[in-house]
Structure 1
Amino acid sequence: MASCLFGLFILLAESCKIWAVTVTSLNPTPVVNEFDSVTLSCIVSSHTSDNRIEWKKLNAGTDFVYYDQQLQGDLKGRAEFKGSSIYIRNVTRKDTAVYRCEVVAVHDVKSFDEVSINLTVQVKPIAPQCAVPKSVPVGKTAVLTCTEHEGYPPSTYTWYKNGDILPRDPKSSPKFINSSYKIDYSTGTLRFSVTSKLDIGEYHCIAKNNAGHAKCKPQRMEVYDINIAAIIGGVLVVVLVLLIITIVIRLAYKRGYFAKKQPENSYKASSKADGVDYVRSNPVDDEGDFRHKSSFVI
């Protein structure tokens, strides 16, 4: 009895496998360059063709790509549905996402399966922006930068001097053994800790990823000596000029060139003109004048 039940169980299991639907992909992680074509592969294994197929794009949210037996969204007009797969022409960076093929077998015993395809669209770098100082004093630090933000995956950067590639370690090349620089290949920064006359030249940078590369125009960097004698001489000249100006101003003050001149018509009127007798309003003054006049008469 037990053996019969076990045989029946095996038979049912095999029957379920026959009725079940399975979904696979020939390439679950396709990588393609921008503006090329790609196939999102979805292979359905089922005993019946009566299957409901849906495609979804999983990015910031969930969007239908294929639903109700027709393409949806921005793929409409530049993609084709072939069997259960999707063929996309002229892919763009916006197509980078995870796509999911979902299949439901419609029959007496419904079955469901799905497969995910992770699509990566590579973007070629554009010409990077390079910044090279035109002139740097001997012994000072110099920083050269190279950046671009369009390429995907992110670009790596390589610097060149006079057409020769700058090695990671300057001591490894006879041409650059006396230089003291460091290169950051991920950020595109070239830093000279101590510049010398040997660092004079034309520099350019190349941004590169798996989709391609691009470069900026060469720019020349000069390295000049600091003339200490000229700086000291200039300071002495400025001090001498200021001293002469100070002496001239002091002499001008002493000679009265900066004194205030009196107006020609200004004068101080006398309080009492000669020979004129004023009538006073003060009684004391009147009395005094009277006494003086009386004594004068006597």
Structure 2
Amino acid sequence: MEGTSLFLPLLILLMQCSPCAPVTVSTNKHKVEVREFSDAELSCMFHTEKDQNPRIEWKKKGKDVSFVYFDGHFRGPFEGRASIDGATVTLHRVTQEDAGEYRCEISAPFDSVSLGETNVTLKVLVPPHTPTCDIPSSAVTGSVVQLRCRDQQSIPPATYSWYKDQQPLSVAQHANASYVINAHTGVLEFKSVSKDDSGQYSCLASNGVGSPKMCDGKHMTIEDVNVTAVVAAVVVVCLLVVICSCGGLVLHRNGFFSPGHGGRSFWISQGHGAVAHISSQTLHRADDTSNVNYVPPPQEPQDFKHTQSFML
């Protein structure tokens, strides 16, 4: 009895002196992935040291931190479309606007550590939409041709496969393959198309979320180069070049491109051995009573001493 009486006070003293656990917050799933327009559960579990009625807050990180749940109510776009059980929040019919990182905060003012938090990332998956396909209607043999397929709305990004005449084209390539398929970019490239590549082409987009989607097929025709037409066009161009060259040469020989074209020139004596150069148009405009005498140009430079000249 005496031993028992000593043990009980010691046990009580140890319980009072033992460290108590402060507020702790955790989640059973840090990354949540759900399909668009379905419900997303963001779990948050907590344990407090003393405070039996802690404050629960949910926030969403982005360009700015916004409240999701505060002071017992949902805020902003979450009002009326979310519910809470304990500290676990369920968002109903999520869209891409809801995707992002969320933080659950538990405040317990009476605990030795008054604040605890945990983060949950929500990713909203979007099934493929009908891809946009860029398929040329025709091409010539030997040319490089690219067919493009793209779905910009699927999450995660879609991968692509191509079909010719409703038969899948192999993605695995070999050394002699005439085409290359990039399943991530959706590009089907022919290194050198031939007439055998003519046919109806379509593209299928898939990302593992929902049903794959295919664009409408489009026919591509590969045609041989028209050698006769090309040769005829070259001959016509050459003839035009020859005709233009010959015409220009004839005009040049007839003086159409010379600086003095448009009138005859004369040498006029001014007296005292001076000689002036004047055109025939000037002579026609000259007064009839003028005493200007026409003097033929000198035959040799040494026949006269050049003292003054002018051009009219």
TM-score, normalised by the number of residues in structure 2: 0.67
Specify the alignment match of 1:27 in structure 2.
29
Specify the alignment match of 1:220 in structure 2.
219
Q: Paired residue for 1:100, among 94, 99, 103?
A: 103
Does the alignment pair 1:200 with 2:203? no
Distance in 2 between residues matched to 1:233 and 1:15, nearest whole Å: 100
Distance in 1 between residues matched to 2:70 and 2:143, nearest whole Å: 65
Contact 1:170–1:180 (CA<8 Å) still a contact in 2? no
Q: Which amino acid counterpart does residue 201 of structure 1 have in structure 2? A: G
Specify the alignment match of 2:19 in structure 1.
15
Q: Which amino acid counterpart does residue 76 of structure 1 have in structure 2? A: E
**Matches for 1:66-85 after TM superposition, within 5 Å:** 66-85=69-88
Specify whether residues 108 and 209 from structure 1 end up closer, same or farther in structure 2 by C-alpha distance, changes over 3 A only. Answer: closer
**RMSD of aligned Cα (Å):** 3.0
**Matches for 1:149-228 after TM superposition, within 5 Å:** 149-171=152-174, 179-212=177-210, 213-228=212-227
**Matches for 1:131-150 after TM superposition, within 5 Å:** 131-150=134-153
Report percent identity of matched pairs: 35
Query: Displacement of 1:25 after TM fit?
Result: 0.9
Specify the alignment match of 2:304 in structure 1.
none
Q: Paired residue for 1:111, among 114, 119, 139?
A: 114
Q: Which amino acid counterpart does residue 152 of structure 1 have in structure 2? A: I
Specify the alignment match of 2:251 in structure 1.
none
Does the alignment pair 1:60 with 2:63? yes
Contact 1:141–1:194 (CA<8 Å) still a contact in 2? yes
Q: Paired residue for 2:124, among 105, 109, 121?
A: 121
Specify the alignment match of 2:43 in structure 1.
41
Distance in 2 between residues matched to 1:220 and 1:170, nearest whole Å: 23
Summarize deviations over 1:197-235 as a string: whole Å, max 9, x none: 221111111222232332210111111111313432465
Query: Displacement of 1:79 after TM fit?
Result: 0.6
TM-score, normalised by the number of residues in structure 1: 0.70
Query: Displacement of 1:170 after TM fit?
Result: 3.9
Instruction: Please state which structure has a larger fraction of its residues in helix.
Output: 1
Q: Which amino acid counterpart does residue 20 of structure 2 have in structure 1? A: C
Query: Displacement of 1:121 after TM fit?
Result: 0.5
Kindly indicate whether structure 1 or structure 2 has the higher relative contact order, using CA contacts under 8 Å at least 6 residues apart. Answer: 1
Q: Which amino acid counterpart does residue 97 of structure 2 have in structure 1? A: K
Specify whether residues 193 and 52 from structure 1 end up closer, same or farther in structure 2 by C-alpha distance, changes over 3 A only. Answer: same
Structure 2 unaligned runs (5+)?
Answer: 1-10, 243-312
Query: Displacement of 1:111 after TM fit?
Result: 2.8
Specify whether residues 21 and 178 from structure 1 end up closer, same or farther in structure 2 by C-alpha distance, changes over 3 A only. Answer: same
